[in-house]
């Protein structure tokens, strides 16, 4: 993707289930504007209360596979017989509109986005202070079975092995402090010189 002068940027968030990403994002949305949250596309059926274009873009298997052929996904994967992917078109549109594009994505997806759009991306890994704290949160929210919690904890331990690939780490042991830290990172994400066409900027600057 061609570098664009003074256009949008990407803020990419990863972290284990139960670390509090949803709460942090809710607080972030209250304090920033001109952003776009990247919504995944999936072939799985909507769950109770889910709406097309809100939680996911729900499409048929045939539609998804056609978009794969047309290279319309930034990244995609097949999980438990269902496709999940990030459509490229709305992301490009948001970047052209100078928006901050926000991803909540797993480590595998992060690596793909970083490979393709590294110069636009500021990345943050969010976690609890300890594995025991994460386990307590998963148990207390009472939405997962014991086996599911075990799998989530194993996945979390594996994901943290890639922590060094991220630009920032937020330990969410205090919601207000963690929210302030995320807001600060969001505000500086678009100021990275790598998101700007430096050559064009200097040409404009020299003419003034």
Q: Report the pLDDT value the prediction gives residue 162, as an integer from 0 to 100.
A: 93
pLDDT digits (tens, 9 = 90+) for 84-112: 889 888 898 999 898 999 998 888 889 98
Of residues 205, 201, 134, the one with CA closest to residue 172: 134
Q: Is the pLDDT of residue 192 over 90?
A: no
What fold is seen in the domain 1-34+99-208? Rossmann fold (3.40.50)
pLDDT at 1: 47
- Class of domain 39-97 as given by CATH: alpha beta
pLDDT at 191: 80
pLDDT digits (tens, 9 = 90+) for 13-47: 999 989 999 899 999 999 998 999 999 899 988 87
**Which residues contact residue 200 at a Cβ distance below 8 angstroms, ignoring those fewer than 6 apart?**
5
Contacts for 115 with CB less than 8 Å, ≥ 6 apart: none
Report domain extents, the chain.
1-34+99-208, 39-97
CA neighbours closer than 13 Å in the CB half-sphere of residue 85: 24
Query: SS3 for 30?
Result: coil
Residues 6+ positions from 83 with CB-CB distance below 8 Å: 41, 42, 43, 61, 64, 65, 76, 77
In sequence order, the 6+-apart residues with CB closer than 8 A to the CB of 208 are none
Considering the chain, what percentage of its residues have pLDDT values greater than 70? 92
């Amino acid at each position: 993707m061609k570098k664009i002068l003074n256009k949008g940027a990407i803020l990419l968030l990863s972290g284990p289930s139960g670390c509090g990403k949803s709460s942090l994002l809710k607080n972030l949305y209250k304090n920033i504007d001109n952003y776009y949250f990247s919504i995944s596309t999936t072939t799985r059926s909507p769950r109770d209360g889910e709406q097309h274009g809100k939680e996911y873009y729900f499409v048929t298997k045939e539609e998804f596979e056609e978009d794969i052929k047309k290279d319309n996904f930034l990244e995609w994967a097949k999980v438990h017989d269902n496709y999940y992917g990030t459509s490229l078109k709305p992301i490009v549109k948001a970047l052209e509109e100078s928006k901050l594009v926000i991803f909540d994505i797993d480590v595998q997806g992060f690596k793909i986005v970083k490979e393709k759009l590294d110069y636009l991306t500021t990345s943050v890994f969010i976690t609890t202070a300890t594995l025991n704290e994460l386990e307590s949160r998963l148990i207390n929210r009472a939405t997962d079975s014991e086996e599911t919690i075990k799998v989530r904890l194993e996945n979390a331990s594996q994901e943290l092995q890639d922590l060094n690939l991220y630009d920032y780490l937020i330990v969410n042991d205090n919601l207000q402090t963690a929210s302030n830290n995320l807001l600060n990172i969001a505000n500086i994400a678009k100021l990275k010189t790598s998101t700007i066409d430096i050559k064009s900027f200097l040409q404009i600057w020299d003419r003034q």
